[in-house]
Amino acid sequence: MTGKSGIRELKGIGEKTEKLFAKLGIYTAGDLLRYYPRGYDVYEEAVPVSEAEEGQIMTVTGILYGRVQVSGNRQMQVTTAYVKDITGTLKVVWFNMPFLRNTLSGGGLITLRGRIVQRKTGISMEHPEIFYPSEKYEEKLHTLQPIYGLTAGLSNNAVSKAVRQVIEGLDLSRETLPAGLRLKYGLAEYNYAVRGIHFPEDKEVFYQARSRLVFEEFLQFILSLRKLKAHNERLSNEYVIQKDDRVDAFIQELPFDLTNAQQKVWQEIAADMASDTAMSRLVQGDVGSGKTIVAVLALMNTALNGYQAAMMAPTEVLARQHYETVTALFEKYGIPLKTVLLTGSMTAKEKRRAYDRIECGLAKIIIGTHALIQGAVSYDNLALVVTDEQHRFGVKQRETFAKKGGAPHVLVMSATPIPRTLAIILYGDLDISVIDELPADRLPIKNCVVDTGYRKTAYTFMKKQIAEGRQCYIICPMVEESESLEAENVTDYAKALKEEMGEDIQVDFLHGRMSQAQKDDIMERFGRGEIRILVSTTVIEVGIDVPNATVMMIENSERFGLAQLHQLRGRVGRGRHQSYCIFMSSSKSKETRERLEILNKTNDGFKIASEDLRLRGPGDLFGIRQSGLMDFQLGDIYQDAGILKEANEAADWLLKNENEYVQKMSDFETISSVII
């Protein structure tokens, strides 16, 4: 077996299972080896009953108190028991397991492990594993069981078995990092790391394995960036664009003054586009700092110079909103530029019409999604590409545009606050501009950090806001490491909320398993005010600008990193009305409260990102990914900031001493696979 062997060669994988693996992007043994667990089921020490926390999987040890009872009907039988220790009593529930009434009648200590949930009658542990006698739990204590991302029809056990076969069947002894580098940074061997990431014997093995693989992932990315930067520096400016006086006149006519930061960034962009080399610039600006108007100035200036300019957005809804904003601005101020929208969902006739206008040069500004770089699009003289949130304009896209004629200026816009020390590494191929002040008329968001006992009060507050004509978001985290359960969580929450809010308030939901068309439909209806409360997972982190939305409530906020919570909060506070963010936490930990209080005290994204960096500890590595900022397989730029800096240092050393190794690793494709 080799890394390129098809997974059909593995025992137990037939045609049907092969198709299921293909849905996860797994076709070969190598793919399977690199399909790392999303998390781990960690068998921790039992806690006192009084410390059981809602939303957590926990273990308790005690004695059964009272009788074990069975209720319900043939479709759903519910077995209820109570376990008691010196700190309190906990209700325990199992579904369709009536035989437990006899099994659990023997008395003595019992250990139970399951999820703690909040119901109307209080907290309870649902469908736990049973360790009886309780000494049996000692065998599993401190062990880690891998949890993989799944698709319908494929079990965690099936993935785990397949991975184990690959690890046993492949020769993993070939080392990929120079020995001196591993020694300097205390990195485990590749063989040990691969086994340890999939099946760690304990937490220490997991940490060592993960550190090695994250280091290598960051190192490959940074070397690719260095190569790309060198390529950019040699890229001469094919489109020298001077600043047009009509842009200055447009700025003067706007009903608001640009902030000093906006003016400074606009001058930097204008200087780049008139220089000897093509622009490659990142504009970082906190949510609501006014990046869009700066991008509009760049698009407009390019078009007034006679060239074409394109703006690429991550979703069709956002692309359409940008198109409508630009069109309305140009109409209002009499700017004679033709703007065209191009998205994947447009009809064939609409697309052909757009293609014709783009190819003949009639369309000067083109706004859309990835449809902008599809094969059927042919540009007349494309000189500028602006990519909005969540898009990294990588080599593949640059090559695609180059084939369509020339090497355009590139402007990347990001609302994700990253401390400058990390930004310099992560955006090593780009010059960086920062818009670090908010417009004067923007009201700061009012925040509060509360426990779950505040939920009813929060609902009442939302009703009041809705009565005043406003709208609300509620964010639910992915409670389980399974996309199917993620969807159930949101739909169940929305169903319960509809009952709570009544028929007059329109509630709907959004989650990652919906098709893009479904997501767009929901967001458009929310944007039009037809939906008053939107229950969603973090898929709305980059969404649509809804100035009328004034309340954001984030359930289980302790499950997210501070930077991501700040990004979510940025969905509100976009209009003239006072906005509010409610961080709801079920955690009783002092550290969690301290972390969330940072969000309570400041709306400054860069300050929050720095605090996020300072407060992260290795214990946070278990469970959901914290930032989701870059689509690294394992690395998290906040969690692993120290490793990122070491990898950057190692890249410097390699470039000086190991040129052969650098040539092997620094493949342009690496950077193209990482999406911001």
pLDDT of 206: 93
pLDDT of 628: 47
Q: Say if residue 398's pLDDT is above 70.
A: no
176 confidence band (pLDDT: 50, 70, 90): confident
Q: Say if residue 327's pLDDT is above 70.
A: yes
Range with lowest mean pLDDT among 443-447, 560-564, 570-574: 560-564
Q: Say if residue 485's pLDDT is above 50.
A: no
pLDDT of 606: 80
Structure tokens at 625: 């990914």
115 contacts 56 by C-beta, under 8 angstroms: yes
Share of the chain above pLDDT 90, in %: 49
Q: What is the mean pLDDT of residues 201-227?
A: 90
**Higher model confidence: residue 606 or residue 237?**
237
- Phi, psi at 286, each rounded to 5°: -60, 160
Structure tokens at 674: 């990482």
182 confidence band (pLDDT: 50, 70, 90): very high
pLDDT of 624: 39
Structure tokens at 571: 């969905």
Range with lowest mean pLDDT among 113-127, 253-267, 532-546, 612-626: 612-626
pLDDT of 481: 43
Per residue in 20-43, is it b (16+ CB within 10 Å) or e — as a string? bbeebebebbbbbbbbbbbbbbbb
pLDDT of 639: 81
672 confidence band (pLDDT: 50, 70, 90): very low
pLDDT of 70: 93
Q: Say if residue 15's pLDDT is above 60.
A: yes
User: So what's the architecture of 1-43+145-171 in CATH?
Assistant: Orthogonal Bundle (1.10)
Structure tokens at 435: 């818009």
* CATH number belonging to the domain at 245-435, selected among 3.90.25.10, 3.10.450.50, 3.50.50.60, 3.40.50.300: 3.40.50.300
Helices and strands of the chain, counted as H and E runs: 23, 21
Q: What is the mean pLDDT of residues 164-179?
A: 88
561 contacts 638 by C-beta, under 8 angstroms: yes
DSSP at 408: -
The reply to whether domains 1-43+145-171 and 45-141 share a CATH topology is: no
661 confidence band (pLDDT: 50, 70, 90): low
Query: What angle (nearest 5°) sits at the alpha carbon of residue 479, between those of residues 198 and 626?
Result: 65
Range with lowest mean pLDDT among 51-60, 104-113, 224-233, 506-515: 224-233
Q: Say if residue 676's pLDDT is above 70.
A: no
Cα torsion at 604, 610, 614, 620 (round to 10°)?
80
* CATH number belonging to the domain at 446-602, selected among 3.40.50.300, 3.10.290.10, 3.40.190.10, 1.20.58.1610: 3.40.50.300
Q: What is the CATH number of domain 45-141?
A: 2.40.50.140
**Higher model confidence: residue 587 or residue 453?**
453
Q: What is the mean pLDDT of residues 293-310?
A: 96
Q: Say if residue 197's pLDDT is above 70.
A: yes
User: Of 402, 395, 239, whose CA–CA distance to 308 is shortest?
Assistant: 239
pLDDT of 608: 85
Pairing label, strands 446-451, 580-585: parallel
pLDDT of 589: 78
Q: What is the mean pLDDT of residues 23-31?
A: 93
pLDDT of 436: 84
Q: What is the mean pLDDT of residues 477-498?
A: 68
pLDDT of 221: 87
pLDDT of 528: 92
DSSP at 46: P
pTM for this entry = 0.74
Q: Say if residue 620's pLDDT is above 70.
A: no
Side-chain half-sphere exposure of 623, counting CA atoms within 13 A: 16
pLDDT of 399: 62
Structure tokens at 475: 């964010």
Map tokens 């994250």 to a residue. Answer: 214
Q: What is the mean pLDDT of residues 646-670?
A: 73
Query: What angle (nearest 5°) sits at the alpha carbon of residue 120, between those of residues 117 and 124?
Result: 30
Range with lowest mean pLDDT among 148-162, 411-425, 632-646: 411-425
Range with lowest mean pLDDT among 245-254, 261-270, 385-394, 400-409: 385-394
pLDDT of 575: 85
pLDDT of 212: 96
Q: What is the mean pLDDT of residues 577-600?
A: 88
361 contacts 380 by C-beta, under 8 angstroms: yes
pLDDT of 72: 87
The domain limits of the chain are: 1-43+145-171, 45-141, 245-435, 446-602, 643-672
Distance, CA of 365 to CA of 339 (rounded, Å):
5
> Within 10 A of 427 (CB to CB), how many other CB atoms are there?
21
Q: Say if residue 619's pLDDT is above 80.
A: no
Maximum mean pLDDT: which of 356-370, 406-420, 634-648: 356-370
> Within 10 A of 389 (CB to CB), how many other CB atoms are there?
20
311 confidence band (pLDDT: 50, 70, 90): very high
Structure tokens at 286: 């906190």
Q: What is the mean pLDDT of residues 546-570?
A: 89
Share of the chain above pLDDT 70, in %: 90
Using the Cα atoms of residue 162, residue 168, residue 171 and residue 175 in order, give the sign of their dihedral: positive
User: Of 125, 138, 129, 33, whose CA–CA distance to 84 is shortest?
Assistant: 125
pLDDT tens string 241-300: 999 999 999 999 998 899 999 999 999 999 999 999 999 898 988 877 889 999 999 999
> Which residue spans within 452-548 are E strands per DSSP?
471-475, 507-510, 533-536
> Within 10 A of 350 (CB to CB), how many other CB atoms are there?
13
673 confidence band (pLDDT: 50, 70, 90): very low
CA 654 to chain centre: 31
Range with lowest mean pLDDT among 75-84, 98-107, 340-349, 590-599: 98-107
Q: What is the mean pLDDT of residues 602-622?
A: 71
106 confidence band (pLDDT: 50, 70, 90): low
